[in-house]
Amino acid sequence: MRRVTVLGSTGSIGVQALEVIEANPHLFEIVGLSAGTNAELLAEQAAKFGVEHTALGTAESVALVHDVETDVVLNGITGSVGLGPTLAALESGATLALANKESLIVGGDLVKAKAAPGQLVPVDSEHSAIAQALRSGTQQEVRRLVLTASGGPFRGRTRDQLKDVTPREALAHPTWDMGLVVTTNSSTLVNKGLEVIEAHLLFDIDYDRIDVTVHPQSIVHSMVEFVDGSTIAQASPPDMRLPIALGMAWPNRVPGVGRPLDWTTASEWTFAPLDSAAFPSVDLAKQVGRAGATFPAVFNAANEQAVLAFHAGRIGYLDILDTIRAVVDLHEPAELTLEGVLDAERWARAAADRILGSR
């Protein structure tokens, strides 16, 4: 029986985590719940599961992690505000099942320095897939990591064909519904760029050994290529409950949490190289990741400002990445501390707003 604290319990990841826990009461017990602003749903969840310890807001979530005796902290908070709770979870000694990729990306070595071996378990489907595939060999036997991308709603379009993309079109993702910012990030492939940075930090693989391939069916969630030419892939129908359950139970699997593939039905899995001319966000993310320090925090914050401006009708679709690049080019890196990250994000949002105001 693992005692679990779910941060961001009212969001998509949190709600699905509670579904997994409810279906497996012999494996998990909820000891703490936190939400950002949805106090009503948080209260309903606490009453349903008999949870006494709850928190509303980021600072309160940090206090909850420190105060509750827990084996696993699932961080399903959205955005870089999850950095404080991520650090608190690692300091507590609990296993951190991390769905809040932004906290690792902006925190970088600050997060890694606090994580004991095996303490940080990824919940993103791509990184969960890599973690599973890596069990097939040693670190020295890994040649490269291959992250899959659905290609989003604009797969196959040229850069010129992206000029007139509307906010509604950007939210029409063919596979996932992930909210305004993340769904838009998937259409620009900024999300995949962030995942490349996350993969580098999680698995200590150089950026020149991390590739992205476009796989529209979203069945193969990522792959590891080994030095003998073998490639190990993790494949399953798209369902976040599988990596969520694995994150909470790692390294054990939870029976019946996901449906298996149907091998009695004909199907096609296709893979294609990423068009870096139309979608340069992955290359920019690698540049930012190599620079390290507070550059990833600036990349992430500038993107969030640009995405909101796009959905407000203030800028065009291609202006999103142009704004990110301009802010990154202006940045003077700061020391990688929690306060340094927060300062860099504030600077990036203000710089992005100035640039957006001039467009």
| pLDDT over 90 (residue 172) | no
What tens digit of pLDDT does each residue of 123-163 get? Answer: 999 999 999 999 999 999 999 999 999 998 999 999 999 99
What tens digit of pLDDT does each residue of 326-342 get? Answer: 999 999 998 899 999 99
Q: How confident is the model at residue 177 (pLDDT cuts 50, 70, 90)?
A: low
CATH 3.40.50.720 domain locations along the chain? 2-123
Whole-number pLDDT of residue 182:
84
Could you give the angle at the alpha carbon of 198 between the alpha carbons of 196 and 145, nearest 5°? Answer: 50
What tens digit of pLDDT does each residue of 69-120 get? Answer: 999 999 999 889 999 999 999 999 999 999 999 999 999 999 999 999 999 9
Quick one: tokens of 25? 């009461």
Question: What is the CATH architecture of 292-359?
Answer: Orthogonal Bundle (1.10)
Strand ranges (E), the chain: 2-7, 28-35, 53-56, 72-75, 95-98, 120-122, 142-149, 210-214, 220-226, 231-235, 272-273
Residue 192, number of CB atoms within 10 A of its CB? 24
What tens digit of pLDDT does each residue of 210-246 get? Answer: 999 999 999 999 999 999 999 999 999 999 999 999 9
CATH 1.10.1740.10 domain locations along the chain? 292-359
Q: Which CATH superfamily is domain 2-123 in?
A: NAD(P)-binding Rossmann-like Domain (3.40.50.720)
Whole-number pLDDT of residue 178:
62
Indicate whether this model's pTM tops 0.75. yes
The Cα–Cα gap between 134 and 127 comes to 10
